[in-house]
Amino acid sequence: MGLTDTGDRHQSSSWDARCRRHLPVAVALLGLGVLPAPLLAAAPAATPGGPTHDVSSGLKLLEQIQDVITDLAERAGPAVVNIFPVQASGTLDQGRERQPGGTGSGAGVIIDRQGHIVTNNHVVGDAAEVEVRFSDRTKAIAQVVGRDQDTDLAVLKLAVPRDLPYANFGDSSTVRVGQWVLAVGNPFGLERTVTLGVVSGVGRENINLSRYENFIQTDASINPGNSGGPLFNLRGEVIGINTAIINFAQGIGFAIPSNMAKQVVQQLLTRGRVVRAWLGVGIQPLTAELAKKFGVTETDGVLVNEVFDGDPAAASGIHPGDVITKINRTAIDSPNRLSRVVATLDPGSTAKVEIIRDGHRREIEVALSERRDGAVLASVPQVHADGKLGLDVQDLTAALAEKFKLKETHGVLVSKVDRGTLAHAEGLREGDLIKEVNRTEVNSVGEFTAAVARARRGESLLLRVIRESRAFYVVLKTG
């Protein structure tokens, strides 16, 4: 089972027996998408003088499901702890952590008999140790073993002279929309609150909460103070670490999938930090206009807008303008997915990268390196409009390159963007450096003007632009 209490083997076996008896019923109902209240309402009513066994059977069925949920809630409690970071002075931060649901206070889950705890990085903050409060009201100090800001996870270590209850990770790849889950945490200071709900979405990204996003979405109530707490399936396995809510929406919470958490935890415990592979490209999503320019469809992959000198992609022959469709046979349909897939690979390993170049598919082997801090994957908002370009340009000089933090020595610098024009609507701004027009390199204003003039009336322009150390493609529709 997912939950383990090293101090009570009899209760564990009893829990197993109850689950074997009741879970088939719950699973059957979940498969039908039936919730308890509608099921009760739909139960056959007894006719005057007629049998009442149909109503009794319906109630018994609901009570069996209820037993599964209440047993899980009882078993989940001891493995879930409340966390309050400790200041360098050794005292609790009274201004933050003591406030119900305040920034820095949250929950965590014990994951092994050695006393390791998983929680959110934003719960721990910069603290080196935290105060942990157990379900029996006792307290202990835990050391921060490691943290990973890119996934918002942290690992703590307790040193207590007793066996601790703990929960096991489940396989988040098997999570399905509609399955029941329990969220356990410390919302608004209400310790070990248990809420029941369903998985309302999987693979959620672009929430802008962390670098690597693949969230499980749930309507099980998650509130301030739930951060770092576990999301359980009905078998008592941790399938997610609750991390955030949408403040203006009800019933929308997000959890980091357990498979991602397991990988991060393993590295933090063995290395003290997380090491990820690095491909060495800047990427952006394919829009309909970009896809048309590159002869692909929007769903084909992601567009490479920059290849960094000396990095694996450059050494392997990947070029700007290539569309990456697969990595090790895993389909790539968004920049976020590419980042996640590469991050799961080991530095030094070889990845098979499938690309589309000039309408032809090919596979390139890339020897990955270790990701360096501060690497940026570029993208810009895509908003389309009609009208003139609305650009003033000039040749790049050394002084201008220094002013706008450009490493390039040649190109066409955007010196002015008129508001309300096409260039402004597409997100271009002063200091952007235009390097290509319709896949042709331009190094001067004369070359830029000639390339624009060659475009037929009504034909869109594909620009490759560099902004500081970032590159991106943008399509301008000429009127």
Asked if 227 is an active-site residue, the reply is yes
CA dihedral 91, 92, 94, 96 (to 10 degrees): 140
Tell me: is residue 226 an annotated ligand-binding position: yes
Cβ(325)–Cβ(356) below 8 Å: yes
CA separation (Å) from 145 to 26, 271, 301, 393? 39, 10, 38, 52
**Residue 329 burial (C-beta neighbours within 10 Å; 0-12, 13-18, 19+):** exposed
- Among 71, 122, 221, 316, the one annotated catalytic: 122
Residues 460 and 479: their CA atoms lie apart, in Å, by 9
Asked if 105 is an active-site residue, the reply is no
Quickly list DSSP for 34-55.
--HHHHHHHSPPPPTTS--HHH
198 closest CA partner among 217, 215, 173, 184: 217
Tell me: is residue 227 an annotated ligand-binding position: yes
Tell me: is residue 122 an annotated ligand-binding position: yes
Contacts of 56 (CB under 8 A, 6+ apart): none
Q: Nearest 5°: phi and psi at 62?
A: -65, -40
- Among 5, 152, 219, 432, the one annotated catalytic: 152
Residues 148 and 138: their CA atoms lie apart, in Å, by 28
Cβ(370)–Cβ(275) below 8 Å: yes
Asked if 360 is an active-site residue, the reply is no
Radius of gyration of the chain (CA): 28
Cβ(94)–Cβ(102) below 8 Å: no
- Among 221, 227, 316, 339, the one annotated catalytic: 227
Which residues define the annotated binding site?
A: 122, 152, 225-227
Which residues are part of the catalytic machinery? 122, 152, 227
Binding-site residues from annotation for substrate? 122, 152, 225-227
